[in-house]
């Protein structure tokens, strides 16, 4: 491994939504006698007689640890390259002297694993089918809602809440096109005009009624797509009718102006990747300026230029997904609660927005509810709820890989 990779030796990497610290090998991978993990540090407390251990000779890039971590079948990968211990068993894991979980504060002090290294490890072919499926999904949307028809598109074909179900564009773009990346969740206000459950219409208060609002929003969407096709994505921030619909408009651009932005629609994702890819301080930018800047930064990385926007987004989310938001489960020990609940075989649990808790009110704040513990494992229900919490749909595969997302 070259001098550039040996200094510094420690880097940050996000794995499974959590921050980790990577210690590079310096060109020397230690093979244990009995264990099933590779080692980088001769002083590792999990090793004995490290000076006498065999080393793996074939790691010129210094990235074998990452390839092993990313392998679909780590044991098969290890055996295929002869990465075995003294008992001829494949080494299919990483010791903590290679990769260990750390706090977000510790990870922030370390340089992040460079995108150029990630490009060497990323298996594009494994993700290509999903990227191509996304492109076909965009084609289906263009077939159902041709851009040439948008200037006369009726509100009934656009808005949620009219009983038309999956026929409305807003439904298709939010719920019916997951392969293109998710914009689900949050408020329906991101669609800029929609019908409420009580039959009334929601739209910006500057418009007198839904018809006037839709006329402005529709014209704004058409103008935004044309601007993106002309390479003027940043101009969309000045289009008053649509600038509040950040994610819906961004996904619409991906459908009708493919290549103008990367399919990472939420502004916090754009901020995240701009900060990682930028060389130096990041200037103040508005959301669509930031999306355009992210595309420019990515194109400068040297990552293969033939990748589609969908494949590029999958790569970024694989390399450096945002950290998962912490979710907490607390056992309420209030003395007035326990006697009655224990008498009925329950425990008192307080949650902070843990998905999987059935009471909808629990997601809006801290609520007490009765949870019957599983037999012999008194506090397993919250743990199951935590495990069920999904990452962003585009990140589901990336969340189990180094660095979706």
**Tokens matching residue 188:** 């329906």
Q: What is the pLDDT of residue 338?
A: 56
Give the residue carrying structure tokens 């969908």: 310
Q: What is the pLDDT of residue 393?
A: 39
Q: What is the pLDDT of residue 34?
A: 87
Q: What is the pLDDT of residue 349?
A: 60
Q: What is the pLDDT of residue 60?
A: 75
Helix (H, G, I), strand (E, B) or coil at 45: coil
Per-residue tens of pLDDT for the chain, all 405 residues: 444 444 458 999 999 999 999 999 877 898 998 899 999 988 888 887 766 788 887 777 889 999 999 999 999 999 999 999 999 999 999 999 999 999 999 999 999 999 999 999 999 999 999 999 999 999 999 999 999 999 999 999 999 998 767 899 999 999 999 999 999 988 999 999 999 999 999 999 999 999 999 999 999 999 999 999 999 999 999 999 999 999 999 999 999 999 999 999 999 999 999 999 998 899 999 999 999 999 999 999 888 778 999 999 999 999 999 998 766 555 555 555 556 555 555 655 655 554 544 444 444 444 444 545 444 444 334 333 333 344 443 433 333 344 433
Q: What is the pLDDT of residue 28?
A: 81
**Upper half-sphere CA count for residue 87 (Cβ side, 13 Å):** 9
Q: What is the pLDDT of residue 346?
A: 60
Burial of 255: CB neighbours in 10 Å, binned 0-12, 13-18, 19+: buried
Q: What is the pLDDT of residue 336?
A: 59
Cα dihedral value 233, 317, 274, 230, nearest 10? -10
Q: What is the pLDDT of residue 367?
A: 46
Q: Tell me how far apart the alpha carbons of residues 111 and 132 are, in angstroms, rounded to a whole number.
A: 33
Give me the sign of the Cα torsion angle 216, 218, 221, 223: negative
Query: Omega into 8 within 30° of 0, i.e. cis?
Result: yes
Radius of gyration, alpha carbons of the chain? 25
Q: Where are the beta strands (DSSP E) in 24-117?
A: 29-31, 37-38, 54-56, 93-94, 99-101
């Amino acid at each position: 491994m070259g001098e550039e990779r040996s200094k510094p030796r420690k880097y940050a990497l996000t794995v499974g939504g959590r921050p980790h610290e990577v210690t590079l090998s310096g060109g020397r991978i230690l093979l244990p006698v009995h264990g099933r993990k590779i080692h980088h540090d001769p002083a590792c407390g999990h090793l004995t007689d490290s000076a006498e251990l065999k080393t793996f000779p074939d790691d010129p890039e210094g990235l074998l640890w990452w390839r092993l971590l990313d392998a679909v079948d780590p044991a098969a990968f290890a055996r295929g390259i002869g990465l075995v211990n003294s008992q001829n068993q494949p080494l299919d894991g990483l010791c903590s002297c290679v990769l260990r979980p750390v706090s977000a504060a510790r990870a922030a002090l370390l340089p992040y694993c460079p995108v150029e290294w990630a490009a060497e490890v990323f298996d594009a072919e494994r993700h290509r089918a999903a990227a191509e499926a996304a492109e076909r999904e965009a084609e289906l949307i263009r077939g159902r809602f041709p851009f040439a028809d948008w200037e006369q598109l009726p509100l009934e074909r656009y808005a949620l809440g009219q009983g038309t179900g999956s026929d409305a564009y807003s439904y298709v773009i939010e719920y019916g096109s997951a392969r293109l990346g998710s914009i689900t969740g949050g408020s329906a206000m991101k669609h800029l005009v929609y019908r409420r459950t009580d039959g009334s219409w929601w739209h910006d208060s500057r418009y007198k009624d839904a018809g006037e609002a839709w006329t402005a929003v529709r014209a704004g969407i058409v103008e935004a797509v044309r601007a993106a096709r002309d390479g003027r994505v940043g101009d969309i921030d000045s289009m008053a009718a649509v600038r509040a619909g950040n994610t819906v408009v961004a996904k619409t651009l991906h459908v009708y102006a493919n290549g103008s932005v990367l399919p990472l629609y939420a502004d916090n994702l754009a901020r995240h990747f701009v900060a990682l890819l930028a060389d130096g301080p990041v200037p103040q930018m508005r959301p669509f300026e930031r999306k355009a800047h992210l595309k420019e930064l990515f194109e400068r990385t040297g990552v293969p230029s033939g990748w589609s926007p969908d494949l590029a987004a999958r790569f970024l989310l694989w390399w450096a997904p945002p950290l998962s938001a912490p979710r907490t489960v607390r056992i309420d020990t209030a003395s007035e609660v326990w006697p009655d609940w224990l008498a009925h075989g329950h425990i008192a649990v307080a949650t902070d927005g843990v998905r999987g808790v059935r009471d909808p009110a629990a997601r809006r704040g801290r609520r007490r509810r009765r949870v019957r513990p599983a037999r012999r494992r008194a506090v397993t229900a919250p743990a199951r709820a935590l495990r069920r919490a999904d990452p962003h749909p585009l990140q589901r595969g990336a969340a189990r890989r180094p660095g979706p997302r």
